[in-house]
């Protein structure tokens, strides 16, 4: 029996993005011991990349805003598949979580009278995103880390969790390997919070960094937790398309919030051509009204560029497919045009969108204050994930909690921009608190060392296979399969083909081999990530085939309309006794009358 390097904590938090850090702070505040594990260095989590802002109805810029409007916007954006309890808690608690960040030292852009400034974003009725230029995630991570560092949290950097360990039905800890030396570490805990972020690396074109291989979703699934609504993947409308080396890198929605417009190769603002019925009453009737909206005119309605992301992404795909795209397969996003409207436009753009200015200047040699950007959709976010209880964030596995992007529920079929950073704060805190309480009120767990040794053996197997295939080809093949067959516009036959190919890739992955030794070996790490990528890819394909309608982030060419029957269910996947995925349609509970009334009133 190996003698593992073992660390014991009451609560183990896996992931050090906004959700993990907020959960760790909350658990530590409850007086339990907390361990925080992350795959990369502290400060490198995806949250640091968030640009546009954090959504909260502070009503600093428009006093008509309140939790009821935010709740209703979130539900409409999610096309009513959201966990309404989560949407309610999120809308009610987000303002306090933002003010708390401010009290912990976060800097925000300010209104002339010194309050936190808020900007417009797609699907939000009023300016709602608290922000610091276009570097809000950096400020959030910095603040949470600075605050967390004083709470007695033990941080384990560059440890990747390979498997969750169980004591009977209950979670008991996890086994990790250390990326630098390739050694194993065992974590023994009473509760685990998963906060591992997204799945973007399952696709070829993505705004996500190398870390986002769906680990939390796959770990939870393997441990018996249910995954929900995995078909809902968000393709952000604006990623860079040129040069090829930067394809997919995000161009923040803040550009459109500040007045940026989308045009096709004929110079037409095509977004005015197709405004969905349920947003018509809230959308500007002409460009002039749209411009006034972005400049804070309360009597104006938002421009169609600020419709929800699913809709804008599909409109761009349509322009490209019908031959009206830009030279490199996207369309044009123009913020430079605002010089027709305001003096000092160049300085204004640089001040409001400093990262975008820098990004295009250094990566594409484009000066966005003078010329339009070329953009196209990029895989950005997953609305689906680990199914959790709305109040506590506990999954169906006792002691296993999830928060942030790896959890499902809040966003339904489509997430509104800015609602992720607030999600991390609201539900990170809740997950940490409830995990701490769970740890306190349930006894210690027993580690079954055989589970750890079996996971270790599986992890080291690629070194023993001498003539297998390398992991990169398989990873790339999977990304192509998902991009081409389970992307923005989906069809049954293509998705069935994807499932067959995923089976074949699974078989290839089982025989993968790596060379070199265990010390910092990216090939080995990629081989280990493959299993997670394949699990989430399969879950996405299965649920996407099952949902025979178009809703939110899921668009079916063969079923282009919404089906009211699918509007009543979440699609849930669990591991069956034979190890295969078992899919079920789970009815969404009826909304309490007072919440239904809010939606009715907000129109
Ligand atoms: C470019 C970009 C801009 C964005 N802008 C905005 C915005 O303006 N507003 C907004 O609301 N949202 C935005 N988003 C989305 C938002 O940033 C993410 O959804 C959110 O930050 C996810 O946070 P998280 O805490 O769930 O996970 P992350 O911040 O993704 O952190 C995940 C953590 O889990 C760790 N981890 C993963 N797997 C393992 C493992 N196996 N073992 C150990 N650790 C592991 C990672 O190392 C990391 O520490 C943006 C996203 C991108 C990519």
Spatial separation of the C-alpha atoms in residues 381 and 481, rounded to whole Å? 18
Q: What pLDDT score was predicted for residue 133?
A: 86
pLDDT of residue 3: 85
Using an 8 Å Cβ cutoff, are 377 and 236 in contact? yes
CA nearest to 39, candidates 194, 156, 169? 156
Q: Phi/psi of residue 555, each to 5°?
A: -120, 120
Q: Which residues belong to CATH 3.90.700.10 in the chain?
A: 236-379
Q: In this predicted model, what pLDDT tens digit does every residue of 513-569 receive, in sequence order?
A: 999 999 999 999 999 999 999 999 999 999 999 999 999 999 999 999 999 999 999
Strands, sheet with 129-130, edge to edge from the N-terminal-most edge strand: 54-55, 129-130, 118-119
CA dihedral 336, 341, 347, 350 (to 10 degrees): -40
The closest alpha carbon to 284, from 316, 260, 306, belongs to 306
Asked whether the beta carbons of 118 and 127 are under 8 A apart, the reply is yes
Q: Is the minimum distance from the CB of 137 to ligand 1 under 6 angstroms?
A: yes
Report CA(47)–ligand 1 centroid distance (Å): 4
| Binding site membership of 359 for ligand 1 (Cβ less than 6 Å) | no
Give the tokens for residue 574.
């669990």
Integer Cα distance of 78 and 265 in angstroms:
31
Atom 38 in ligand 1: residue holding the nearest Cα:
196
What is the 198 CA–ligand 1 centroid distance (Å)?
Answer: 7
Helix, strand, coil fractions of the chain, as percent rounded to 5: 40, 20, 40
Query: Residue 405: pLDDT band by 50, 70, 90 thresholds?
Result: very high
Are 248 and 280 spatial neighbours (Cβ–Cβ below 8 Å)? no
> Which atom of ligand 1 is found nearest the CA of 381?
19
Ligand 1 and 45: CB distance under 6 A: yes
Judge contact between 379 and 206, C-beta under 8 A. Answer: yes
Give me ligand 1 centre to Cα 295, in Å.
30
Percent of the chain with pLDDT over 70: 100
For the residues 85-101, what does the mean pLDDT come to?
Answer: 98
Would you state the structure tokens that stand for residue 107, as one six-digit string?
């800097």
Sign of CA dihedral 133, 135, 136, 142: negative
Rounded-to-integer distance, Cα 468 and Cα 508, Å: 9
pLDDT of res. 16:
98
- Extract the tokens encoding 536: 């989430």
- What contacts 524, CB < 8 A, 6 or more positions away? 182, 462, 463, 514, 516, 518
Does 35 sit in the ligand 1 pocket, CB within 6 Å?
no
What CATH class is the domain 236-379?
alpha beta
Q: What totals of helices (H) and strands (E) does the chain contain, helices first?
A: 17, 20
pLDDT in tens, 171-203: 999 999 999 999 999 999 999 999 999 999 999
Residues annotated catalytic, as ranges:
236, 256
Cβ(207) – ligand 1 distance below 6 Å = yes
Place of tokens 């992404």: 313
CA-wise closest residue to 289 among 280, 277, 302 = 302
pLDDT-derived band at 466, boundaries 50, 70, 90: confident
Alpha helices in 78-152 (DSSP H): 84-103, 136-148
CATH 1.20.58.100 in the chain: give the residue spans: 464-587
What does the pLDDT average to over 410-422? 97
| Neighbour count for residue 464 (Cβ, 10 Å) | 10
The Cα 40–Cα 250 span in angstroms is 21
| Atom from ligand 1 closest to the CA of residue 208 | 53
- Cα–Cα dist 169/108, whole Å: 44
The per-residue pLDDT for 2 is: 66
CA distance 515 to 527: 11
Q: How far is CA 136 from CA 192, 195, 242, 445, in A?
A: 28, 19, 25, 39
Question: Is residue 205 within 6 Å of ligand 1 at its C-beta?
Answer: no
Check residue 206 and report its DSSP letter. B
Ligand 1 lined by 76 (C-beta under 6 Å): no
Structure tokens at 149: 């560092």
Is 70 exceeded by the pLDDT of residue 331?
yes
Q: Would you state the pLDDT for residue 509?
A: 97
Of 13, 15, 22, 178, the one to substitute when testing ligand 1's pocket (max ligand atoms within 8 A of C-beta) is 15
d(CA 265, CA 320): 9
Distance (angstroms) between ligand 1 centre and the Cα of 405 equals 7
Output the CA 72–ligand 1 centroid distance in Å: 25
Ligand 1, atom nearest to 52 Cα: 8
Question: What number is the average pLDDT over the span 508-513?
Answer: 96
Q: Which atom of ligand 1 is nearest to the CA of 254?
A: 8
pLDDT above 60: residue 382: yes
- The predicted model gives 279-304 an average pLDDT of 94
The finding on whether 405 has its CB within 6 A of some atom of ligand 1 is: yes
Residues 6+ apart with CB under 8 A from 362: none
Sheet with 373-382, side-by-side order of all strands? 233-240, 373-382, 331-334, 261-263
pLDDT at residue 533, rounded to an integer = 98
Radius of gyration over alpha carbons of the chain, in Å? Answer: 23
What is the 578 CA–ligand 1 centroid distance (Å)?
A: 33
Kindly state the tokens that stand for 139: 């400020």
Q: Looking at the domain that runs over 464-587, which CATH code has it been given?
A: 1.20.58.100
Query: Residue 560: its pLDDT value, please?
Result: 94
Q: Tens digit of pLDDT for each residue in 24-49?
A: 999 999 999 999 999 999 999 999 99
Residue 532 alpha carbon, nearest atom of ligand 1? 41
In this prediction, residue 602 has a pLDDT band, given cuts at 50, 70 and 90, of confident
CA of 419 to the centre of ligand 1 (A): 13
User: Is 46 near ligand 1, meaning CB less than 6 Å away?
Assistant: yes
- The CB of 177 under 6 Å from ligand 1? The reply is no
Strands (E), 400-529: 400-402, 489-490
């Amino acid at each position: 029996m190996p003698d593992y390097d073992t660390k014991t904590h009451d609560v183990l938090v896996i992931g050090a993005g906004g959700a993990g850090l907020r959960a760790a702070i909350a658990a530590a505040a409850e007086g339990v011991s907390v361990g925080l594990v992350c795959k990369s260095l502290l400060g490198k989590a995806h949250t640091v990349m968030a640009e546009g802002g954090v959504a909260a109805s502070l009503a600093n810029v428009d006093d008509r805003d309140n939790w009821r409007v935010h709740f209703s916007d979130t539900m409409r954006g999610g096309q009513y598949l959201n966990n309404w309890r989560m949407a309610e808690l999120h809308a009610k608690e987000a303002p306090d979580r933002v003010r708390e960040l401010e009290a912990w030292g976060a800097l925000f852009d300010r209104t002339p009278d010194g309050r936190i400034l808020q900007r417009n974003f797609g699907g939000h009725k009023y300016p709602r995103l608290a922000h610091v230029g276009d570097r809000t995630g950096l400020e959030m991570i910095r603040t949470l880390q600075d605050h967390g560092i004083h709470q007695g949290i033990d941080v384990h950097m560059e440890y990747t969790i390979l498997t969750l360990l169980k004591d009977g039905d209950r979670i008991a800890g996890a086994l990790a390997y250390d990326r630098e030396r390739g050694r194993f570490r065992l974590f023994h805990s009473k509760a685990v919070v998963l906060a591992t972020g997204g799945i973007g690396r399952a696709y070829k074109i993505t705004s996500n960094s190398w870390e986002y291989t769906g680990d939390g979703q796959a770990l939870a699934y393997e441990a018996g937790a249910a995954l929900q609504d995995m078909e809902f993947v968000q393709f952000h409308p604006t990623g860079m398309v040129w040069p090829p080396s930067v394809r997919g890198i995000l161009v923040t929605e803040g550009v459109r919030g500040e007045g940026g417009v989308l045009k096709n190769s004929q110079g037409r603002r095509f977004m005015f051509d197709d405004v969905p019925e349920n947003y018509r009453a809230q959308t500007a009737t002409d460009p002039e009204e749209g411009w006034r909206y972005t400049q804070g005119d309360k009597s104006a309605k938002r421009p169609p560029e600020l419709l929800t992301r699913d809709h804008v992404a599909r409109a761009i795909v349509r322009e490209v497919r019908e031959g009206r795209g830009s030279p490199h397969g996207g369309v044009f996003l123009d913020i430079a045009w605002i010089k027709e409207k305001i003096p000092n436009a160049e300085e204004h753009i640089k001040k409001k969108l400093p990262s975008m200015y820098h990004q295009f200047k250094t990566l594409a040699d484009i000066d966005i204050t003078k010329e339009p950007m070329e953009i196209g959709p990029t895989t950005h976010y997953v609305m689906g994930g680990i199914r959790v209880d709305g109040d506590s964030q506990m999954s169906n596995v006792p002691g296993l909690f999830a928060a942030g992007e790896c959890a499902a529920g809040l966003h339904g079929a489509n997430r509104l921009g800015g609602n992720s950073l607030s999600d991390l704060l609201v539900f990170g805190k809740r997950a940490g608190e409830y995990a701490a309480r769970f740890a306190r009120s349930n006894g210690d767990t027993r580690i079954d060392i055989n589970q750890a040794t079996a996971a270790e053996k599986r992890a080291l197997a690629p070194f023993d296979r001498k003539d297998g295939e390398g992991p990169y080809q398989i990873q790339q093949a999977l990304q192509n399969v998902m991009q081409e067959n389970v992307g923005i516009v989906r069809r049954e036959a293509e998705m069935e083909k994807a499932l067959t190919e995923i089976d074949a890739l699974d078989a290839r992955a089982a025989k993968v081999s790596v060379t070199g030794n265990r010390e910092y070996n990216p090939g080995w790490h990629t081989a280990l990530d493959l299993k997670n990528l394949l699990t989430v890819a399969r879950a996405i394909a299965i649920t996407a085939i099952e949902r025979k309608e178009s809703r939110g982030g899921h668009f079916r060419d063969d079923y282009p309309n919404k089906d009211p029957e699918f509007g009543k269910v979440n699609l849930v996947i669990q591991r069956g006794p034979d190890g295969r995925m078992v899919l079920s349609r789970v009815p969404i509970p009826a909304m309490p009358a007072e919440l239904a009334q809010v939606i009715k009133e907000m129109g």
